[in-house]
Structure 1
């Protein structure tokens, strides 16, 4: 399987209100906010309550795995959005594709270019 390189440089975009959004690959220091965001995502989209211990362990493992990459969007030093990409085999394309999941933007920062910044970075 050919490894797809992942951009890890900071990319900044400005939305219509001139808020600066920076995107970077997540690291261990982001663990707590990733857990919080994933719990909020599951509750909001599927009415599920995820076990925080299991979720934390899962995110810790994802951060260590070569085939998983979490990205966070920040403004003024605060994480306001996230996504994770993994690799998946596509029989339709006869190759490996990126699968984007765990997409979450903090409610008060929605419709301000946060997801666009994450997507453009990836």
Structure 2
């Protein structure tokens, strides 16, 4: 492959990707929280995003010559009145273990940065990461992201 040719294709996920997105989502939960849940638990949320882009969108990474996803992420939106623009939140990041440390996330991340810059109304790209996931934190720093001074609080309903 020519070094100038991208190693991976990045595309918006379609409804045909729902099964692999569910597999990836379950793997994120298993790796991050150490729990297993049935795919029926995550599919409705994935389907909601695939059917309604006001909720967000998924990107998948594939090899150049193979359409099967090897990684993904989801973008959701938050409006900032202070910055008069959107924050794009990177969520549901997953790269197949066989493809880790090979540039898949970098390709997804760079694609998101380019999309955000071209949209003209995105002021920041954000993500949250578990404090013990130091490997991912290193990757995000390598991609030019910096740690924000905010903490995330939750209220379960």
TM-score relative to the length of structure 2: 0.62
Aligned match of 1:56 = 43
1:94 to 1:51, Cα distance in 2 relative to 1, 3 A: farther
Match of 1:42 among 10, 19, 29: 29
Q: Relative to structure 1, is the Cα distance of residues 47 and 91 closer, same or farther in structure 2, using a 3 angstrom cutoff?
A: farther
Where relative contact order (Cα < 8 A, 6+ residues apart) is larger, the structure is 1
1:31 corresponds to 2:18? yes
- For 2:95, which of 77, 93, 105 is the aligned residue? 105
Query: Residue 142 of structure 2 aligns with which residue?
Result: none
Say whether residues 1:86 and 2:86 are aligned partners: no
Q: Which moved more, 1:106-115 or 1:71-80?
A: 71-80
Structure 1: tracts of 5 or more residues without a match = 1-11, 14-19
CA distance in 2: counterparts of 1:85 and 1:79, whole angstroms: 17
CA distance in 2, matches of 1:54, 1:62: 14
Partner Cα separation in structure 1 for residue 69 and residue 20 of structure 2: 7
Three-state SS of the structure 1 residue aligned to 2:72 is strand
Answer with 1 or 2: which has the greater Rg: 2
Secondary structure, counterpart of 1:88 in structure 2: strand
Matched, 1:22 2:9: yes
Displacement of 1:48: 2.4
Query: How far off its partner does 1:52 sit?
Result: 1.3
- 2:61 maps to 1:73: yes
In structure 2, distance between residues paired with 1:53 and 1:61: 13
SS in 1 for 2:101: coil
Distance 1:50 1:69 in 2: 23
